[in-house]
Each structure stands twice: as C-alpha cells, then as structure tokens.
C-alpha cells in the first residue's frame, strides 16, 4: 500500500471524528458552491444555467434554454466556421517539414490554448446575446455567490469595484495561499474517492462515507477561509460586496461535482 494511500486513510479517519461537530456548517441560503474544483468562468456560468432554480429565477423562455443548450454543445454554425479556420491554419503550420519535434509540441500546445480561449470567449459572448441585460446581470450575481469571497481577490472587476488597497490585496493573497495546500489535497482526495476507491479495494459503502467526510471538512475549511477574506474588508466594502452578489438564491448542487454532466434530462 503506497504512503499516499495510508496518509489518506489516516486523514479520513480524523474527518469521521469531526463530522458530527461540523456537519451542516455549509451555506445553505445562497448559491455558494463548496467542494468545487474551480472551473473556468464560462463553465460555471453554464453550470448555473443548468440548475432549475436559476432557470426559474431568470425566467428563461423555452427558446432561450434551447439556445443555451446548443451553445453549450457547440451546435453553432458561426463557431463551427471559426474552429474549422483555426484547424486548417494549424494543419498548415504542422505540415512545415523544417519543424523539429520540439517545435511541433510547442505548436500543438499553443493551438490548444488558442482553441480553448476562442471557444470560451465565443460562448460567453453568445450567452450575453441570448440573455437580456437584466438576466445577464442576475446571472453574474449568482456566479459571484457561487465562488464566494475568493472572487473579491481573483476577479479584477470585483476588486476594482470594491477599491481594494494594496495592503488588503496582500492580506487576501496570504489567506488564500495559507488554505491552498490543504484544499488542493482534500479536493484531490475527493476526486479519488469518486473514481478510484472501489478499484483500490473499498466497498461502495466505504466510498460513500469517505466522500461524505471529505465534503464535510472541505466545506468547513472553505467557510473558514471565506470568513477570513471577508474580515479583511471595511464595513463599506462589505456592503458593496453584498450589493454585487445580489439577493441570495439557494441552489441544490449535485453532490458529485467532478462527475456532473450539464443539460441532460
């Protein structure tokens, strides 16, 4: 048995001891999503639009919802044309007989980044066009609710709106850096619990208990970090933050966040 596996089992054992104490400490009155591998902004916007609570909140029409689904699936002629053009250009560049293997690897990496950025940019712009201005503004509020106070530091437009000082930025960076290693470890273990534990000899019941314990402790750690980040703000900045996130909307997120599929009936 590898050392990492032993360490993981020790940690899980400790988590079970803590479960009764901290269970229920998660925020159940807003869109805040704990135990989340921080996905891209576009992915998280689509994740919100996939939830029934958000569809009702935004009062999406059937036509809007169908257009959102097509956008998510990439079923769009304009996007298809853009991607075909990029692929053709990449194929021509890769066909250069003078390229070394190292240069080919670099070209592939650059192409993947460009492709990813083009898709994300197109999808977000398309969402803006599908939604009304009011719907888009509310969706962005829910997006901020979902990721929580980390947005204050990580999203430039939010930091600028709150007028963070250099001292506050440094303090927030320090807090995030402090919690980052343990959260990275716990999220990794949560992923292993979803996909690998049965193959490592655990029963389905043991796997579920492991996941429940991990979810509990990750929520606890993230909540503590959120509280510390908010503690850096002045009273006026806290008031402004509440305005930015808007009215809280409770959302029941799927428990296995790493395995979810969007817009499937």
Ranges in the chain, pLDDT < 70: 1-28, 37-39, 195-202, 255-260, 265
Token readout for 150 is: 């980390």
Per-residue confidence (pLDDT) for residue 22, from 0 to 100: 45
pLDDT computed for residue 143 by the predictor: 95
Residues 82, 8 share a domain? no
- Tell me: do 213 and 249 sit in the same domain: yes
Q: Which of 73, 105, 138 is the last residue of a domain?
A: 138
**Does a structural domain hold residue 10?**
yes
Torsion of CA 122, 124, 130, 133, to 10 degrees: -140
Dist. CA 57–CA 251, nearest whole Å: 11
pLDDT at 5: 47
In the prediction, which pLDDT does 51 show? 92
Same structural domain, 89 and 28: no
Domain-embedded: residue 261: no
Give the domain-ending residue among 105, 138, 171: 138
- The rounded distance, in Å, linking the Cα atoms of 23 and 16 is 10
- Quick one: tokens of 3? 């050392």
> How many structural domains compose the chain?
2
Chain center to CA of 209? 24
Answer for the pair 31, 250: CB distance below 8 angstroms, yes or no: yes
The domain boundary residue, chosen from 138, 165, 189: 138
| Domain extent for 236 | 1-32+148-256
Residue 265 within any structural domain of the chain:
no
Specify the pLDDT at position 209. 75
Specify the pLDDT at position 55.
Answer: 97
Asked, for residue 156, whether it belongs to a domain, the answer is yes
250 and 208 assigned to the same domain = yes
Kindly report the backbone phi and psi dihedral angles of residue 248, in degrees, each rounded to the nearest multiple of 5, phi listed first: -60, 140
- 44: tokens are 């998280």
Task: Quickly tell me which residue has 């296995």 as its tokens.
Answer: 256
Any idea which residue has 């899980």 for tokens? Answer: 12
Show the tokens assigned to 81.
């044309």
DSSP, residue by residue, 65-95: HHHHHHHHHT--HHHHHHHHHHHHHHHHHHT
Residues 21 and 86 in one domain: no
First CA to last CA distance, the chain: 41
Residues in the chain: 265
- In 3D, which of 222, 194, 218, 229 has the Cα closest to residue 208? 194
pLDDT at residue 13 in the model: 53
- Same domain, yes or no: 185 and 225: yes
Residue 53, SS3?
Answer: helix
* Shared domain check, 199 and 237: yes
Residues 86 and 215 in one domain: no
> Do 57 and 133 reside in the same domain of the chain?
yes
Question: What is the pLDDT at residue 24?
Answer: 38
Q: How far apart are CA 120 and CA 99, in angstroms?
A: 29
CB atoms within 10 A of CB 244: 18
Residue 195 C-alpha from the chain's centroid: 19
Among candidate residues 59, 76, 58, the one with its CA nearest the CA of residue 67? 76
- pLDDT at residue number 171: 97
Q: Is the same domain home to 104 and 162?
A: no
Whether 250 is in a domain gets the answer yes
| Residue 4 belongs to some domain of the structure | yes
Sign of torsion, CA 168 170 176 178? negative
Whole-Å CA distances, 219 to 25, 28, 161, 179, 213:
7, 11, 27, 12, 10
Q: Are 169 and 237 within one domain?
A: yes
Give yes or no: residues 80 and 27 share one domain.
no
């Amino acid at each position: 048995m590898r050392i990492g596996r032993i360490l993981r089992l020790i940690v899980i054992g400790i988590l079970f001891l803590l479960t009764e104490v901290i269970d229920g400490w998660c925020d159940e009155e807003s869109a805040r999503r704990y135990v989340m591998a921080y996905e891209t902004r576009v992915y998280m916007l689509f994740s919100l639009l996939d939830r029934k609570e958000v569809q009702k909140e935004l009062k999406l029409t059937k036509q809007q919802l169908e257009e959102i689904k097509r956008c998510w699936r990439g079923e769009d002629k304009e996007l298809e044309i853009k991607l075909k053009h990029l692929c053709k250009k990449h194929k021509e560049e890769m066909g250069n007989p003078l390229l070394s293997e190292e240069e080919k690897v670099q070209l592939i990496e650059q192409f993947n980044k460009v492709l990813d950025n083009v898709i994300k940019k197109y999808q977000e712009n398309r969402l803006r066009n599908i939604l009304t201005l009011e719907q888009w503004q509310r969706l962005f509020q829910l997006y901020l609710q979902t990721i929580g106070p980390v947005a204050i530091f990580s999203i430039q437009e939010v930091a600028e709106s709150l007028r963070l000082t250099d001292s506050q930025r440094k303090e927030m960076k320090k807090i995030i850096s402090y919690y980052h290693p343990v959260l990275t470890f716990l999220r990794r273990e949560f992923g292993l619990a979803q996909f690998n534990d049965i193959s490592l000899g655990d029963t389905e019941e043991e796997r579920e208990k492991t996941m429940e314990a991990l979810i509990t402790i990750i929520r606890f750690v993230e909540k503590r970090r959120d509280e510390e980040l908010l503690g850096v703000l002045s009273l006026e900045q806290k008031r402004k933050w509440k305005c930015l996130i808007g009215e809280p909307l409770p959302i029941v997120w799927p428990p296995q966040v790493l395995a979810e599929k969007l817009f499937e009936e």
